[in-house]
Amino acid sequence: MATKVKSPSGKTVSPTTNASTVANKKNATTTTKAKNKKKAKTISPFANFGKEISFSVSGNKIFTFTELKRDGEARWKKHEMVGSKPFMQFLGPGDENISLTIVLDARHGVKPRKTIDSIIAYRDAGKADHLVINGENITANKLVITQTSDTWNEVWNRGELVRATMEITFQEYR
């Protein structure tokens, strides 16, 4: 009678293993690793502003934002009345403004200088587009980048920008 042994998972198994079983396990592991590697390269963005700015996380790259802030207002007209309190008239919704902060770090697969330059070029071209997060537009109308502010947090001895923080402000465009 063959001796039974407990595996690390707690199952009772036979201690004999043939060469084909080992080869099949090795091939399965290699195939799984290849699939995982392929997935890491093809992860789609979770957010984007047009085609130029895509936020994503993968095994090779981390490009995300923090502190997304959305401001909106309603438009009202105040009519002064003689002998009584003013009368308020609703005119309609106002503009939406969105601001967010991005961290650009070369150690996370992002090229800070190139990314800053492309966002500034997008702002200066006056391009309007939707800010989309998880497949949904954040506002009903397109947005434009009205303001950017970048801080160079880490520059190495040859002038290479390694880490930067950038604040972007969007305003609704109609």
Instruction: Give the per-residue SS3 of the chain.
Output: CCCCEECCCCCEECCCCCHHHHHHHHHHHHHHHHHHHHHHHCCCCCEEECCCEEEEECCCCEECEEEEEEEEEEEEEEECCCCCCCEEEEEEEEEEEEEEEEEEEHHHCCCHHHHHHHHHHHHHHCCEECEEECCEECCCCEEEEEEEEEEEEEECCCCCEEEEEEEEEEEEEC
Q: Is the pLDDT score of 89 beyond 90?
A: yes
* Average pLDDT of the segment spanning 117-146: 90
- The total number of residues shown for the chain amounts to 174
* Average pLDDT of the segment spanning 82-86: 92
Q: What is the pLDDT of residues 137-163, one digit of tens each?
A: 888 889 999 999 999 998 998 888 999
% residues pLDDT > 70 (the chain): 74
Q: What is the pLDDT of residues 6-59, one digit of tens each?
A: 555 555 555 554 444 444 554 555 554 444 444 444 455 678 887 778 787 877
**Both tokens assigned to 158:** 């040859």
The residue ranges of every structural domain in the chain are 44-173
pTM of whole model > 0.85? no
pLDDT score at 18: 46
pLDDT score at 39: 44
CATH of 44-173, one of 2.40.30.200, 3.30.360.10, 2.60.40.10, 3.40.50.1000: 2.40.30.200
Distance CA 62, CA 77 (A): 46
pLDDT score at 116: 92
8 Å CB contact between 97 and 169: yes
Which is it for strands 136-137 and 131-133: parallel, antiparallel or unpaired?
antiparallel
pLDDT score at 170: 93
pLDDT score at 87: 92
Q: In whole numbers, what is the pLDDT of the chain averaged over residues?
A: 79
pLDDT score at 38: 46
pLDDT score at 19: 44
- The larger pLDDT score, comparing residue 67 to residue 50, is at 67
**Both tokens assigned to 154:** 């880490």
